[in-house]
Every structure is written in structure tokens, then in C-alpha cells.
Amino acid sequence: MRLGLRTRLDNVPVSSVSAALVSEHDHTPVDALGPGQSAGLVIVAVGPKGEKFVTAGAGRGKVLLDSYLIDASIVTINKNGRGSLPADPSLSEGKAGRVRITLVGQPGVTTELDIPVRYDIAYRANFSGAEGIEGVDGFAGLDGSAGTDAPLPMVDPATGLPGTQGPGGRGSDGSNGGDGSNGQDGSPGPDVHIWMRLVSGAGDASAADPLLQVKVSAGTRESLFLIDPHGGSLRVSADGGQGGRGGAGGTGGRGGSGGNGFPPGLSGLDGHAGADGRPGSPGAAGRISISVDPGAQQYLSILSWSNRNGDGRAGPTLNIVSEPVPALW
């Protein structure tokens, strides 16, 4: 293996391999993944003399990931070694991710990595309206041209004295600055409905704690969550978007200076600044309603929400109804 170059393990004797997940941010070990989370896969091969060959990417080594055949279930591993769990919890509930890794060309050298699923994480469901697009600033006005200089006086042949110089030309006026365009209105937040019910553990015999099934729907958009009430949470946003800033009016052009002469020419007038554009109107906040099954009512504190208008004013009052909620998937 050449030092400093990425390589494959085609002709390198390997006695064993091991694998682990690490954080994509600080490379600390990751023991489990929550729905929608990801981590970097690190594979370490060990030679007969104890030498180690680490994969590139999250492992910060030199070995290319395609030195291995990777077969994954529940989780997906992309070509860069990023392992991801689907955001939809119905695809992983009661299961665990598993990755089987085999060294290419050496089928007897293999390892498996089990990836437990965790639900004690902070989820977010953002349905807020978009901010309005900002208006375009007006163009600056053009400066006026300088006035022409009067010609130098001719010498009077009778007296030998120079004549009087004529007046200088007037500078032209600067042009007005262009008006800024109006900002666009912020988009409204949609009406959002949240359903929450209590279920048993996710199928793992060691998971005695209950879990919460939650569905959040806003128009055609729908998100599902499975939450451990001991450490997990969900924040739902249905804020209106802020109105876009109006474009600034362009500065007026400066009047041209007067030309030299007697008397000097007058300077041109400065152009007027353009008018500023009007800011867009704030979007209205969406209405949030919650249907909570009586068995889950004690865990309402894991939910938080925001539905403010685009100008920061409070939106419609939250509506919470205690009623039977059937299975959400």
C-alpha cells in the first residue's frame, strides 16, 4: 500500500474486520439511530501482524469503501459510507438495523453490525409559511454632465488688452433614482392537526417503557413519529411567513458642475432619490388542533408548538380534544 494514497484491499492479507458508526459532526461513537438520523460507517481491517487498515470518509483512513460488499437491512448505506434510518417510524418499529460486511475477494472475512433504533430524540415538524421575497433596490440616478467652459477671450488688437470671457455653460441635472420594488407577502402557515396515542414498547423485550405514536397532517403533507416520552419530544411549527422587505429607492444622480467662464455656469440640480418599496404583508398563522387519546393525555408535555403570524403576533388559540385515537399506522 502506497503511503498517502487511497487504495483497495485486493491483495492485502486480512485476518478480521470490524465495523462501527460514528457521529458525522464530531466522530464520537454512535450506538443507535433514531428515525431520520444518520451516522458514518467505519470499517477496520486487521492484518496478520496486527496492522490496521481503516476506511476513508468517516474513518479518516485510506481504504476505499468498495473494498467491501455491504448488505444492509432497515438502514441504508450510501456510497460514501453514510448510514441512515428511514424517517418513517413504521418502517423500523419493532426492528433493528443490521449491516453485513464482507471483504471483496475474501468471502471468509466478514462481520455484522447491529444498529438499535432509539426514540428518545427531539423531533421537529415545520409547516411554517415561507418568507416573502425581498423587493429589488432601485437603480441609482445618473450624474449630470459638466457645463462647457467659455472660450478664452481674444486680445483686442486696438488696445492690446484681452476681452471679456463669456459665461460658462450650465451643468445638466442628475437623473432621478429608480423606485424600489415592493416586497412580496409572506405565505400563511397551514392548519395543522396532530393525533397522539400511547402504544407499548417497539417490540424489543428490553424496551419496557411505553411509546407514543404521533401523526401530524397539514394539507397534503403528513409526518409520522414514534416518541419515547422519557427524553423524546416533538415541536410543531405553523407560523406565517414574514413579509419581504421593500427595495430601497435608488439615490438621485448629482447635478453636473457649471462650466468655467464669467460668470461661472450654474451647476445642474441633483436628481431625486427613488421611493422605497412597500414591505410585504405578514402571512397569517395556521390553526393547530390536537386529538389526544385519553391514555396518552399524561404525556402532552412532550409536545410544543408555535403558530405566530409573520409579524410576531399570536395566532389562533390551540384546540385540544381528548378522544379515542385509533392506530396511526
List of domains in the chain: 16-118 (2.60.40.3440), 119-152+167-329 (no CATH)
DSSP strand E in 116-205: where? 122-126, 192-199
Please, what is the Cα angle at 225 between 224 and 231, to 5 degrees? 170
Tell me the CB-side half-sphere exposure of residue 129, using CA atoms within 13 A: 29
Q: Which three cell numbers stand for residue 310?
A: 409573520
Query: 74, 80 in Cβ contact below 8 A?
Result: no
Is residue 192 within 8 Å of 288, Cβ to Cβ? yes
The per-residue pLDDT for 35 is 97
Residue 164, pLDDT score:
74
* CB-CB neighbours of 242 under 10 Å: 23
Q: Give the separation between CA 19 and CA 30, rounded to whole angstroms.
A: 12
What pLDDT, on a 0 to 100 scale, did the predictor assign at position 15? Answer: 93
Task: Give the model's pLDDT for residue 249.
Answer: 93
Whether pTM exceeds 0.85: no
Residue 269 CB: number of other CB atoms within 10 A?
A: 16
DSSP strands (E only) in the chain? 16-22, 29-30, 38-46, 52-54, 68-73, 76-77, 82-84, 97-103, 110-115, 122-126, 192-199, 211-218, 221-227, 233-237, 288-292, 303-306, 319-322
Residue-level pLDDT at 246: 94
Rounded CA gap, 97 and 34, in Å? 11
Question: Do residues 114 and 97 make contact, with C-beta atoms less than 8 angstroms apart?
Answer: yes
Identify the DSSP state of 202: S
Query: How confident is the model at residue 169, as a pLDDT?
Result: 87
Other beta carbons less than 10 A from residue 134's beta carbon: 19
Strand partners, 39: 83
pLDDT digit string (tens) for the chain, length 329 residues = 444 578 888 888 999 999 999 998 889 999 999 999 999 999 999 999 999 999 999 999 999 999 999 999 999 999 999 999 999 999 999 999 999 999 999 999 999 999 999 999 999 999 999 999 999 999 999 999 998 988 877 777 777 777 677 788 888 999 999 999 999 999 999 999 999 999 975 444 344 578 999 999 998 999 999 999 999 999 999 999 999 999 999 999 999 898 888 888 899 999 999 999 999 999 999 999 999 999 999 999 999 999 999 999 999 999 999 999 999 99
